[in-house]
Structure 1
Amino acid sequence: MTASSQPYSPALPEHAATDRPVAIWLSGVAVMVFLMIVIGGITRLTESGLSMAEWRPFIGWIPPLSEKEWYRVFSIYQDTPEFQKVNSWMTIEDFKEIFFWEYLHRVWGRLIGIAFALPFLVLALTGKIRRALYPRLGFLFLLGALQGVIGWWMVKSGLVDNPAVSQYRLAIHLSVAFIILGALIWTVLQLQRISDEPDRRLRRHAMAALHLIALTVVAGAFVAGLDAGLIYNTFPLMDGHIVPPDYAYAEPFWINIFENPATVQFHHRVVAIVTYAVIVWLLVRAIRSETIRPRTRLSVHTLAGMASIQVALGISTLLAQVPVSLGAAHQGGAALTFAAAFWVLFETSGARTRSS
C-alpha cells in the first residue's frame, strides 16, 4: 500500500488526554452561549428588553416575589419612554409576560459566568489547566464580563427618549456574543484535534465564507434593531422591485446604510445571497477535490447544509412577518452556521494547540 492510499487517521494534540476536561467544560459553556443567543433573539422579538429598567448585577437573581415588589418594578417601567409612548395600555399582568424573557436573559448570562468561573477554579486548583491556556481563558473571561456591560449599555439607549434600543449597540452586543462563541469553538477544537496538513486553497475560501457569515449576522442585527423585517415581506423581489424605491431617501447617503429600514433589509438580503453562493461554491470544490480529507469534507457538507436551512428560515421569517418562533430559529441558525464555518476553517488550516 502506498503512502497516498493509506487510510487517514487524524492526529491528536500532544496534550489531548490531559486537556479533555477543559475541552468538555468549554464545550458546555459554548452550548450555553448558543442558547443565550437564542434567548436574546426571543427577548428582542417579544420586545421584552426594556422591561427591566434597573441593573442589579449582584442582587438581580431574584425575581419579584410579592405583589408589592411587582408593583415597584412595574412603576419603574412606567417611567420609561417605552411605556409612556408605546405600552401605556399595559396592566401589571401584561408587564409580567414581557418581564419574563428579559429576566431569563439576564439570569442566563449570570449562569454562564458561574459555569465559566467555578469549573475554572476547580480545574486550576487541581492542576488540570496548562499554563499556556491561561491567556486564552483570561481573554474569554474578560469578553464575558464586557458583554454584560455592553448589554446594559444597550438597554440604557432605550431608556432615555427613544423607546427602542440603538441598532448600533444591538449590533455590537450580538457581535461580541458571536466572537465569544467562535473563540470557545476554536479553543475546543485546538485542544482535541490537529489538522495535520493545511489546505491553503480551501482555507482561503473558508476564511472568506466565515467573514461573509459574520457580515451577514451584523447586517441582521441592524434589521432587528430597526424592525426592518416587518416591511417588504416578499421574496425574491421587494414588493415588485429589485431595489426598494426608498433605498436612499435619507441624506447624507451613508446614513441609509445604518438607519433606513429599507436599505438595511436590502443589504441583508444581498449579503446573505452572496454568502450562500460562496458556501455552495466551497461545497462544489470539496466534492470535486480528490485529496480532501474525510473530516474536512464532512465539515464542508455540514456548513452547506446548515447554510441551506438558514436561507430557508430567513425567507420564511420574512414572508411570515417575523413571528417569534421563526425569528428565534433564524437567529439560532445563524449561530450554528457560524459555528460550522469555524469547523471548516479549522479543518483546512492545520491549526494546532500550544504544546507547553
Structure 2
Amino acid sequence: MLASKFKYTKTIRSWLIVGLIMLVGQVILGGITRLTGSGLSITRWDIITGVIPPLNAEQWLEAFELYKQTPQFHKINSLFTVQDFKFIYFWEYFHRLWIRSLGFIFLIPFIIFVFKKQLDFYLIKRLVLVILLTILTASAGWIMVQSGLVNRPWVNAYKLTIHFVFAILVIWAMVKTIADVYLPSTNKINFRKPIVSMVVGITFLQMIFAGLMAGMKAGLYYPTWPDMNGEFIPDVLLKSANWSWENMINYDTYLFAPAFIQLTHRMLAYLLGALTIYMFFKLKGKVEGISKIWLAISLILVLAQIVLGILTVLYVKGKIPLFLGVSHQLVGLLYFMNMLFLQYSFRKNKA
C-alpha cells in the first residue's frame, strides 16, 4: 500500500533524504569504531553532558583512568598512552555525536512539520516508527558496550549483531518511507515476481551474518581465498561433536563458531552474486524507468561487494584492513538499500 495523495513539499523530501544519508553515516561510523577498537573507550553514556569531550589535560587523564579499569585496557591496550587513548576516544565520541546530531536534525524538523500540518497521518506513523527503532538501536548499542566492560575485552558478538540489525531495520523503515513519498511509477511487470523479494530476504540474512562476522572477528581466522586455510570446509566443522550451542557461545576460545560464521557468510555471498546476475538478465527487458536503473546498480554493487570481501580477507594482517573493511560494509549496505528501492518500485501507483 502506497502513501496517500498528500502532496509533500520539496523541503520534506530533501529532509527525508538527508535523514537516510545520516543513518547510513551512523552505521559506517559504527564500523570504523569497531575496526579501530574504539567502542569501549568511553565507559559512560551521558546523554547531555556527554556532548562535551574532555577539554584539558586533567579531564583527559580522568577519562583515561576510567578506561584503564576496563578489560580491554588490561588485556589488550595496557601499553596505551593518553595520546593513544585520544585516538580511539575520538572515533567513539564522533560515533555518539553523530547519533545525537541525527536526533537533532531529524526530530526538531519533524515536530515543526507536524505543528505546521505539513505531514499527513500516514507519514507521521512511518516516521514515528523510524524514531522508535532508532531509540531501540541506541539502547541496544549501550547494552552492547556494557558487555565489553566486564571480563571480555571486546563487546559480545551477539549483542553487537542485535545492535547492527536494529540499525538495518531503521534504514529499511526509512527507505520504505522515502519510497512511499516519492511514489514510484508503475512497471509493465508481474508485481509478485518472487526473485526480488527472495534476494532482499537473503540479503537481510547476510547482514545478520555480517554482524556476527564483525563481532566474532571471524575474518581473522581464515585470511585466505578461495579456500579457508587450505580447506574448502574447515575440518572443525566436519566433526559432529563440535556442533553445540556451547561452542557457538564460546566463540573467542574455540574455532568452531568463527569457522561456521565465515563459511556461511562466504556461501551466502556466492548465492547472492548468482541470484543477482540471474535477476538482472531475467528482468532487464521487462522493467522501465527508475526500476531499470535500480536493477543495473544491483548488479554493479553485488560484484563490487564480492571483490571487496575477497580483498578484505586477503589483506588481513592480524587485523581487518580499515579502508577495505569499511568499504565492504558500505557497499553491502548500499546494495541492500538498492534492492529495497528496486522492490518498492515495482508496486502499482494508486495515486
What's the TM-score, normalizing by structure 2?
Answer: 0.91
Higher normalized contact order (CA 8 Å, seq sep 6+, divided by chain length): 1
Summarize deviations over 1:249-293 as a string: whole Å, max 9, x none: 674435556731111111110111111111111001023x3x422
Q: CA deviation at 1:98?
A: 0.8
Change (3 A) 1:92 1:238: same
Instruction: Identify unmatched segments of 5+ residues in structure 1.
Output: 1-10
For the residue of structure 2 that corresponds to 1:60, the secondary structure is: helix
Taking the aligned partners of 2:118 and 2:167, their CA distance within structure 1 comes to: 27
Q: CA deviation at 1:242?
A: 0.9
Q: 1:223·1:265 contact (CA, 8 Å) conserved in 2?
A: yes
Q: CA deviation at 1:351?
A: 6.2
Q: 2:236·2:242 contact (CA, 8 Å) conserved in 1?
A: no
Summarize deviations over 1:314-337 as a string: whole Å, max 9, x none: 111111112001101111111101
1:215 aligns with 2:214: no
Equivalent positions of 1:1-356 (< 5 A) are: 14-15=5-6, 17-196=7-186, 199-200=189-190, 203-247=193-237, 251-254=242-245, 259=251, 260-287=257-284, 289=285, 291-321=286-316, 322-350=320-348
Taking the aligned partners of 2:190 and 2:100, their CA distance within structure 1 comes to: 40
Kindly report the root-mean-square deviation, in angstroms, between the aligned alpha carbons of the 2 structures.
2.1
Sequence identity (%) = 31
Q: 1:157·1:165 contact (CA, 8 Å) conserved in 2?
A: yes
For the residue of structure 1 that corresponds to 2:49, the secondary structure is: coil
Q: CA deviation at 1:199?
A: 3.6
Change (3 A) 1:186 1:244: same
Summarize deviations over 1:4-23 as a string: whole Å, max 9, x none: xxxxxxx99733x4354322
Q: CA deviation at 1:196?
A: 2.8
Q: Would you say how many aligned residue pairs link Structure 1 and Structure 2?
A: 340
Taking the aligned partners of 2:8 and 2:274, their CA distance within structure 1 comes to: 41
Instruction: Identify unmatched segments of 5+ residues in structure 2.
Output: 252-256
Q: 1:247·1:263 contact (CA, 8 Å) conserved in 2?
A: yes
- Which moved further from structure 2: 239-248 or 55-64? 239-248
Taking the aligned partners of 1:212 and 1:351, their CA distance within structure 2 comes to: 27
What's the TM-score, normalizing by structure 1?
Answer: 0.90
Summarize deviations over 1:50-99 as a string: whole Å, max 9, x none: 00011111211111001111011111000111111111111111111111
For the residue of structure 1 that corresponds to 2:326, the secondary structure is: helix
- The amino acid across from 1:281 in the alignment is Y
